[in-house]
Amino acid sequence: MTDIIHLLPDSVANQIAAGEVIQRPASAVKELIENAVDAGSSVIKLFVKEAGKQLIQVIDNGKGMSETDARLSFERHATSKIQKADDLFAIKTKGFRGEALASIAAIAQVELKTKRPSDEVGTQILIEGSEVQSQQPCSTPVGTSIAIKNLFYNVPARRNFLKSNSVETSHIIDEFQRVALAHADIEFSFNHNGADIFNLPKSNLRQRIVNVFGATFNQRIVPVEEETFIVKITGFIGKPEYAKKTRGEQFFFVNNRFIRNAYLHHAIQSAYEQLLPRETHPSYFLFLEVDPKSIDINIHPTKTEIKFEDEKAIYAILRSATKKSLGQHNISPTIDFEQEASISLDGPPANKIIEEPKIRVNPHYNPFKSQTTFENSRDFNGPSLKQKSNLQNWDKLYETHVNSPAAATFTLDESPKQEIINPQWENDFSEVSKSLCYQLHNRYILSHIKTGFIIVDQQSAHERILYEKFIQFLQHHRSGSQQLLFPETVEFTASDSALVMAMLHELNDLGFAIEEFGKNTFVVHGIPPLLKEVDSKVTLERILEEFKKNQSELKLNTGENLARSMAFNAAVKSGKSLSGEEMKNIIDELFACSQPYASPSGRPTLTTFSLDDLERRFKK
Ligand code: ADP
Ligand code: MG
């Protein structure tokens, strides 16, 4: 037999390798900006078109490259940053693998222009799918400009895999912010589709944080400082009263490199113990400096994870430094300084990985999937919001009942099986409509149905009702808007305002009358009548928070996500006392929904008990 193994051509090998390094436009942005930082630039400009799908360009004023280096920079494992294996343990630059440019060139059309301060003329290279198209002298300022066009143009599968522009843009903003925060002494700008998103002059860290996240941050943060022989910690932490529902602004940098580390995160979180309302997260911007020999940054291709030699000690120091800062700034007067200042090294065991509990939600979960009547369950054109579908839905309610007599608890991974339908149940709707409702513990609505009783979770049910209404508004591109007497101007952080821009249509379809009004500012003329909140900024901020949370956890399209976030915000909450009328409305409207049985995030909305269930319980 003939031999069958052969070496892949470079272009194919590079494409495969590229998958590791460049997953999306944001990864290319990160690599280019980091290269600019490594080149000693003092000004770095980022230009992006169509969320990076069309263009990503980084222009720097760094040291530039020679003609030969320019050509070599696109070779795999070509780097000026390390020379021998030992260097891996003393890394001071962002890059060191020499893979980024080779990867990018394998999957895009790239134009590089570069000139060193000592050169008369610069050099220009055009490269496409790893093939150099041309290299020639050119006139260009000192520094480097790299333009990446049509990312993944030759890997359609990857291109199709990219998310909507708003999602990809927010990933780019994340990467940009990380590098910008790590290098306050460098001037950065970011322009998307011709609009300036960030203009960050050279400054100190506090000013940089404020420039990135908005003026309100100035009063929200307090400094942290601690120096020990193992680690030096500097930076800022958020005051507890500004903690957020989402883990938005949490940044660790180790030797100026952004990292994630659940273990160290836990150190911070635990320092805030008792100071935070439940399920809120503090902001932090913390810089750890350690001996490069004591960390291994070589364990992950995209390099956001690193291993520490002294993780346990760093945990304790970090926790104590955070506590100290909270105490010093009179945020937690009860802290005992003496005790806190003497660092105890018994944090959690060093090799224990602390993982945040995660809630997994299946957005497509439908407990009745197997039922034929639910075939169009994702098609919201169906029932008009009141009447007609009521009976049909009561049918379905009956089905729940017969399917799960054992208290009708919903098991998320099992859809009930179809059974015979008892036509008598159809009458139950009129019955429940007429019957009185009782509220239990300001949380559940109890009502009588012909063959037993029903308990509705008021919050989940209302979320479901609002969600379906919002989805309808989106589909018909209209909903009423309640005009504000005095239009309000609302300012967002740059990244939030990019999000708002990307969802402006949907917001207006949903009943906001909102328009852009210059830099990061919007005018709100009206709000959806279903949102009772009067402060439109607070309302919008809450919706955005929820939206971002959904965005990171679930893969929803913008409209669905917004509808969900708005429903979540506007729904009556557990704990609210309801009038008889309000309870009846909830029940009526719930059964007019196309999927009445679960909230948009999959929590059950109701459960039924039959007389049989009751009888059984009272048997001797
Ligand atoms: P790495 O950054 O890991 O070395 P890259 O593929 O990102 O690998 O870059 C390869 C080489 O190209 C770098 O080591 C550097 O010498 C050179 N280079 C890349 N970008 C720039 C830039 N903006 N300015 C100067 N040199 C650069
Ligand atoms: Mg690099």
Whether 429 shows a pLDDT value over 50: the answer reads: no
**79 C-alpha to ligand 1 centroid (Å):** 6
Provide the pLDDT for residue 346.
Answer: 39
Provide the pLDDT for residue 38.
Answer: 95
The 8-class DSSP code of residue 247 comes to -
**140 C-alpha to ligand 1 centroid (Å):** 18
Provide the pLDDT for residue 611.
Answer: 84
Q: Which helix (H) or strand (E) holds 454?
A: strand 452-457
Mutate to test the pocket of ligand 1, among 20, 21, 38 (most ligand atoms within 8 A of CB): 38
Is residue 312 a contact partner of residue 350, using CB atoms and an 8 Å limit?
A: yes
**173 C-alpha to ligand 2 centroid (Å):** 19
Residue nearest to atom 19 of ligand 1 (CA): 35
Whether 527 shows a pLDDT value over 90: the answer reads: no
Helix (H, G, I), strand (E, B) or coil at 231: coil
Q: Is 600 in the pocket of ligand 1 (CB under 6 A)?
A: no
**182 C-alpha to ligand 2 centroid (Å):** 16
4 or 237, which is more confident?
237
Predicted confidence band of residue 208 (pLDDT cuts 50, 70, 90): very high
Predicted confidence band of residue 115 (pLDDT cuts 50, 70, 90): very high
The three-point CA angle 252-197-99 to 5° equals 55
The 8-class DSSP code of residue 241 comes to G
Predicted confidence band of residue 340 (pLDDT cuts 50, 70, 90): very low
Q: Is 96 in the pocket of ligand 1 (CB under 6 A)?
A: yes
- Closest ligand to 18 CA? 1
Q: Tens digits of per-residue pLDDT, 50-89? A: 999 999 999 999 999 999 999 999 988 778 878 877 777 7
Query: At residue 596, what are phi and psi to the nearest 5 degrees?
Result: -75, -10
> Which atom belonging to ligand 1 lies closest to the Cα atom of 96?
3
Tokens coding 471? 């989805």
- Mean per-residue pLDDT over the chain, rounded: 79
Q: Is 73 in the pocket of ligand 1 (CB under 6 A)?
A: yes
Q: Is 528 in the pocket of ligand 1 (CB under 6 A)?
A: no
Query: At residue 112, what are phi and psi to the nearest 5 degrees?
Result: -115, 130
Look at 10-14, 27-31, 35-39, 426-430 and tell me which has the smallest mean pLDDT: 426-430
Provide the pLDDT for residue 418.
Answer: 28
Residue nearest to atom 12 of ligand 1 (CA): 73
302 or 25, which is more confident?
25
Helix (H, G, I), strand (E, B) or coil at 350: coil
Q: How far apart are CA 1 and CA 5, in angstroms?
A: 12
Look at 239-248, 393-402, 593-602 and tell me which has the smallest mean pLDDT: 393-402
> Which atom belonging to ligand 1 lies closest to the Cα atom of 103?
6
> Which atom belonging to ligand 1 lies closest to the Cα atom of 34?
2
Q: How far apart are CA 524 and CA 539, in angstroms?
A: 11
In sequence order, what are the residues at sequence separation of 6 or more whose Cβ sits closer than 8 angstroms to the Cβ of residue 287?
A: 182, 205, 233, 234, 235, 253, 256
DSSP 27-79: HHHHHHHHHHHHTT-SEEEEEEEGGGTSEEEEEE-S----HHHHHHTTSTT--
Predicted confidence band of residue 380 (pLDDT cuts 50, 70, 90): very low
Predicted confidence band of residue 372 (pLDDT cuts 50, 70, 90): very low
Question: Considering the chain, what percentage of its residues have pLDDT values greater than 90?
Answer: 35
Q: Tens digits of per-residue pLDDT, 80-113? A: 878 877 777 777 787 777 889 999 999 999 999 9
Look at 112-126, 190-204, 318-332, 567-581 and tell me which has the smallest mean pLDDT: 318-332
Q: How far apart are CA 491 and CA 517, in angstroms?
A: 9
**594 C-alpha to ligand 1 centroid (Å):** 56
C-alpha distances in Å from residue 602, one per residue of 127, 309, 411, 548: 49, 43, 11, 18
Q: Furthest-apart CA pair in the chain: how many Å?
A: 100
> Which atom belonging to ligand 1 lies closest to the Cα atom of 78?
10
In sequence order, what are the residues at sequence separation of 6 or more whose Cβ sits closer than 8 angstroms to the Cβ of residue 104?
A: 18, 22, 28, 31, 32, 110, 148, 151
85 or 606, which is more confident?
606
Tokens coding 85? 């294996």
Q: How far apart are CA 576 and CA 415, in angstroms?
A: 32
Tokens coding 478? 């209209």
For 200-222, what is the mean pLDDT?
Answer: 92
Predicted confidence band of residue 190 (pLDDT cuts 50, 70, 90): very high
Q: Which helix (H) or strand (E) holds 223?
A: strand 221-227
Q: Is 31 in the pocket of ligand 1 (CB under 6 A)?
A: yes
- Closest ligand to 79 CA? 1
Whether 617 shows a pLDDT value over 90: the answer reads: no
Q: Which residues of 524-536 are buried (b: 16+ CB within 10 A; e: fewer)?
A: bbbbbebbeeeeb
C-alpha distances in Å from residue 552, one per residue of 59, 177, 248, 391, 539: 30, 17, 11, 38, 20
> Which atom belonging to ligand 1 lies closest to the Cα atom of 60?
23
Provide the pLDDT for residue 53.
Answer: 95
- Closest ligand to 76 CA? 1
Is residue 287 a contact partner of residue 233, using CB atoms and an 8 Å limit?
A: yes
Tokens coding 219? 């009063």
Strand partners, 286: 235, 252
**32 C-alpha to ligand 2 centroid (Å):** 7
Is residue 113 a contact partner of residue 68, using CB atoms and an 8 Å limit?
A: no
Whether 135 shows a pLDDT value over 90: the answer reads: yes
Whether 200 shows a pLDDT value over 90: the answer reads: yes
Predicted confidence band of residue 449 (pLDDT cuts 50, 70, 90): confident
Provide the pLDDT for residue 307.
Answer: 80
**35 C-alpha to ligand 1 centroid (Å):** 5
Predicted confidence band of residue 555 (pLDDT cuts 50, 70, 90): low
Most confident range, picked from 177-191, 213-227, 330-344, 427-441:
177-191
Residue nearest to atom 21 of ligand 1 (CA): 35
**95 C-alpha to ligand 2 centroid (Å):** 4
In sequence order, what are the residues at sequence separation of 6 or more whose Cβ sits closer than 8 angstroms to the Cβ of residue 602?
A: 361, 362, 363, 365, 412
pTM: 0.61
Q: Is 98 in the pocket of ligand 1 (CB under 6 A)?
A: yes
> Which atom belonging to ligand 1 lies closest to the Cα atom of 36?
23
Provide the pLDDT for residue 298.
Answer: 64
Helix (H, G, I), strand (E, B) or coil at 364: coil
Predicted confidence band of residue 173 (pLDDT cuts 50, 70, 90): very high
Is the dihedral angle over the CA atoms 544, 545, 546, 550 positive or is it negative?
positive
Q: Is 41 in the pocket of ligand 1 (CB under 6 A)?
A: no
Provide the pLDDT for residue 465.
Answer: 93
Q: How far apart are CA 199 and CA 188, in angstroms?
A: 6
Predicted confidence band of residue 302 (pLDDT cuts 50, 70, 90): low
Q: Is 35 in the pocket of ligand 1 (CB under 6 A)?
A: yes
Predicted confidence band of residue 434 (pLDDT cuts 50, 70, 90): low
For 208-218, what is the mean pLDDT?
Answer: 90
> Which atom belonging to ligand 1 lies closest to the Cα atom of 62?
24
Q: Is 95 in the pocket of ligand 1 (CB under 6 A)?
A: yes
Mutate to test the pocket of ligand 1, among 31, 35, 45 (most ligand atoms within 8 A of CB): 35
C-alpha distances in Å from residue 444, one per residue of 48, 467, 575, 607: 50, 19, 9, 10
Q: How far apart are the first and last CA of the chain?
A: 80
Provide the pLDDT for residue 149.
Answer: 97
Predicted confidence band of residue 436 (pLDDT cuts 50, 70, 90): confident
Provide the pLDDT for residue 597.
Answer: 83
Which stretches within 62-146 are classed as H helix?
A: 67-72, 100-106
Q: Is 39 in the pocket of ligand 1 (CB under 6 A)?
A: yes
Look at 70-74, 443-447, 492-496 and tell me which has the smallest mean pLDDT: 492-496
Q: Is 58 in the pocket of ligand 1 (CB under 6 A)?
A: no
Q: How far apart are CA 138 and CA 179, in angstroms?
A: 30
Question: Considering the chain, what percentage of its residues have pLDDT values greater than 70?
Answer: 80
Q: Tens digits of per-residue pLDDT, 465-475? A: 999 988 888 88
**129 C-alpha to ligand 1 centroid (Å):** 18
Q: How far apart are CA 442 and CA 604, in angstroms?
A: 17
- Closest ligand to 80 CA? 1
Provide the pLDDT for residue 339.
Answer: 38
Provide the pLDDT for residue 47.
Answer: 97
Q: How far apart are CA 304 and CA 386, in angstroms?
A: 51
Query: At residue 346, what are phi and psi to the nearest 5 degrees?
Result: -95, 75
Helix (H, G, I), strand (E, B) or coil at 169: helix
Residue nearest to atom 23 of ligand 1 (CA): 36
Provide the pLDDT for residue 561.
Answer: 87
Q: How far apart are CA 216 and CA 224, in angstroms?
A: 19
Provide the pLDDT for residue 432.
Answer: 58
Whether 422 shows a pLDDT value over 60: the answer reads: no
Mutate to test the pocket of ligand 1, among 27, 37, 73 (most ligand atoms within 8 A of CB): 73
Q: Which of 8, 18, 301 shows the shortest CA–CA distance to 151?
A: 18
Tokens coding 173? 């903003």
Q: Which of 172, 322, 354 shows the shortest CA–CA distance to 233?
A: 322
